[in-house]
Structure 1
Amino acid sequence: MLLLALDTATPAVTAALLGAGAPGEGARVLAESRQVDARRHGELLLPAVDRVLAEAGRKLDEVTDIVVGVGPGPYTGLRVGLVTAATFGAALGVPVHGVCTLDGLAYASGLEGPFVVATDARRKEVYWARYADARTRVSEPSVDRPADIAEQVAGVPAVGAGALLYADVFDGVRSEGPEHQSAAALGALAAEKLARGEELLPPQPLYLRRPDAQVPANYKVVTPR
């Protein structure tokens, strides 16, 4: 197994290459790249892939599986990773597996008890979900204004940039926890699930809300005569 993991659903543009670990162990991280820049996903992702391949001394055509974060995340950034993963998968003839971006952050936290993960959804909202532990999500991902979920997250450990941004609501925020996505964590979680024979998500975007760009109301279509 040589697994390439990508995620652009948060401000982090991240890629990682993972190989098979020793018997009884999980996947081994061979290389990882992560840059935080919410406006340059398209510019930074392919160079990140080149870096992890070069660091690991591997070629792209050796990749056997691709894992991509499916969000939730803002439309513009999220689609960069999904389109790139789909293109690699088609070119290499290898499967492309989707994983919820929030699940990658939860896995990276290593927390054992109940907690929440929240990322910045902009528009003064957060994407968030509840977890029983670092591997087990117990609610569907949602997008809400922090004030509207204050009672649900009060006093509960929380990780992610959304929790840090609204620490007055997420009063159990762990500043030492992961703030942005790690493709290494996303890939390691996917490798565990695949090893257990679990079916992962399809590589389809989890937007949770409509994109900002929409056709204006009462728009008239003008066609040539």
Structure 2
Amino acid sequence: MLLLAIDTSTSAITVALRGDGIASSATVLDARGHSEHVSPLVQRCLGTAHREPSDVTHVVVGNGPGPFTGLRVGIVTGTVFAHARGIPVHGVCSLDALAVDAAALVGEGDFLVATDARRKEVYWARYTVGDGDLAGAPRPRRLTDPAVDRPADLPEEVRALPTAGRGPALYPELFPRALAAHDVQAASLALLGESLLQAGEALPVEPLYLRRPDALTTAERARP
């Protein structure tokens, strides 16, 4: 298996290759430039690993949640790549991928992932460090469905948990226990995707927008 992972749900446009003894990744931080960076990053990863697109056997994309335009870029890029190659494409919750890095920092107990949803809101989910490991690192287990809320609307005991993502940087008074894991890394998405696929999990590509996009047609605005 040679897996190509792509995530554009956060400020990081991030791509990775994993499998067949390969671990290659490339990331650019740019909250507004997803469409400009993602394809060159795919080419960079393939070049660094001395592999061709024809060597890739699976694609994993981050399902989000994330802002509509940025998230869509990664999902469309991964889906088109997979369809052109005739290989399967899978989706993994982006918060779960960020939780992989957070769990390694926490070690045990509950923690929070809170990423920037704009509009003074965060995408968030609560996790715990579960049983077992993920390639020698603690394995996270999600306790709540991904949600989008204003930070102050989260229960105080939830906001008090160690928190990964951009939430603590944007709202330090509300998330006082920041973890040094700020954005999704495709290397962690690839690791998690590989583990889930090996376990026989179904991983549909289902974008988690959690709210309607800013730009709507008249008909879309009329919907309840």
The CA distance in 2 between the partners of 1:37 and 1:193, in whole Å, is: 29
The CA distance in 2 between the partners of 1:207 and 1:152, in whole Å, is: 26
The answer on 1:162 being equivalent to 2:153 is no
Give the aligned residue type for 1:114.
D
Match of 1:138 in 2: 143
Deviation at 1:150, TM superposition (A): 4.2
The answer on 1:191 being equivalent to 2:211 is no
Deviation at 1:162, TM superposition (A): 1.6
Percent identity over paired residues: 52
Q: Deviations over 1:115-137 (max 9, x none)?
A: 00000000000000000124210
From the CA coordinates, give the structure whose radius of gyration is larger. 1
Deviation at 1:181, TM superposition (A): 1.0
Match of 2:69 among 76, 79, 102: 76
Deviation at 1:216, TM superposition (A): 4.8
Match of 1:14 in 2: 14
The answer on 1:119 being equivalent to 2:115 is yes
Give the aligned residue type for 1:101.
S
The answer on 1:3 being equivalent to 2:6 is no
Partner of 1:116, secondary structure, is: strand
Partner of 1:199, secondary structure, is: coil
- Pairing 1:85-124 to 2, within 5 Å after superposition: 85-109=78-102, 110=104, 111=106, 112-124=108-120
> Size of the alignment, in residue pairs?
208
Q: Name segments (4+ residues, structure 1) moved above 4 Å.
A: none
Match of 2:31 among 5, 28, 38: 38
Partner of 1:185, secondary structure, is: helix
Match of 2:183 in 1: 180
Q: Deviations over 1:175-201 (max 9, x none)?
A: xx210110000010111111122222x
Match of 1:151 in 2: 156
Change (3 A) 1:207 1:152: farther
Match of 2:214 in 1: 212
Give the aligned residue type for 2:28.
Q
Gaps of 5+ in 1: 22-27, 220-225
Deviation at 1:54, TM superposition (A): 0.2
Gaps of 5+ in 2: 130-138
The CA distance in 2 between the partners of 1:196 and 1:204, in whole Å, is: 20
The CA distance in 1 between the partners of 2:159 and 2:122, in whole Å, is: 15
- Answer yes or no: is the 8 Å Cα contact 1:150–1:169 preserved in 2: no
Match of 1:52 in 2: 45
Give the aligned residue type for 1:131.
Y
The CA distance in 2 between the partners of 1:123 and 1:143, in whole Å, is: 10
Partner of 1:197, secondary structure, is: coil
Give the aligned residue type for 1:167.
P
- TM-score using structure 2 length: 0.88
Match of 2:135 in 1: none
C-alpha RMSD over aligned residues: 1.5
- Answer yes or no: is the 8 Å Cα contact 1:153–1:170 preserved in 2: no
- Pairing 1:55-66 to 2, within 5 Å after superposition: 55-66=48-59
